[in-house]
A and B are shown apart, each in its own frame.
Chain A
Amino acid sequence: DAGVIQSPRHEVTEMGQEVTLRCKPISGHNSLFWYRQTMMRGLELLIYFNNNVPIDDSGMPEDRFSAKMPNASFSTLKIQPSEPRDSAVYFCASRRRGQTNEKLFFGSGTQLSVL
């Protein structure tokens, strides 16, 4: 199993530009989570999906952030327009749906720098 795959690994962009982060969850996992990690706030849950449906997006900081999951094997997190304070590592994670006692598997993250 290839694990959770995220792309790109690194993204450097200028303020105001659109940024799209991508995630492929583990096959058979139908819960998908987007987290953001910063030194100041640690790991924060932004949004999660069950069976491609967004369940809780209360962690999405602003309307500039949006996430989609068009099918079971792909999700995107978009920031438009990006700002320097969005600089962070963004992680995608997946788990079998409804299994709160299952382990959560993380991707390697996307290091985002907004200049």
Chain B
Amino acid sequence: KQEVTQIPAALSVPEGENLVLNCSFTDSAIYNLQWFRQDPGKGLTSLLLIQSSQREQTSGRLNASLDKSSGRSTLYIAASQPGDSATYLCAVPTGGGNKLTFGTGTQLKVEL
């Protein structure tokens, strides 16, 4: 059974700092990995989808990396801003690719 873990559970950083969020998964046979953002009281927004054949995917200040062999992905946020404050979740497809198994999330707070 695929298990997805995110560390740390919560993170508080000053504005402008570069930061890394971590995601680990137990079964390396994945098609892809997605990073989502969830704002309080809102649904999830997909930020990046990184294919199993890729090692990195970038969107603006966000960069996601994937190392299947070690079962790890990182989400790098450059020059963090207060608007980046949210919970970030990673997810991998399971059950033949049709289901997503989510990590427990990292709650990020970027302070002025």
Contacts and interface: CB of A to CB of B under 8 A. Distances in A.
A55 B32 CA distance: 21
Nearest to A43: B102
B43 A107 contact: yes
B98 to A, nearest CB: 6
B89 A101 contact: no
Interface residues of A, number: 23
Contacts of B93: 100
Interface residues of B, number: 24
A100 B32 contact: yes
Given A42-B104, A48-B98, A104 B31 contact: no
A73 interface: no
Interface stretch (B16-24, B44-52, B71-79): B44-52
Contacts of B105: 42
Interface of B: 31-32, 34, 36, 41-46, 49, 51, 89, 91, 93, 95, 97-100, 102-105
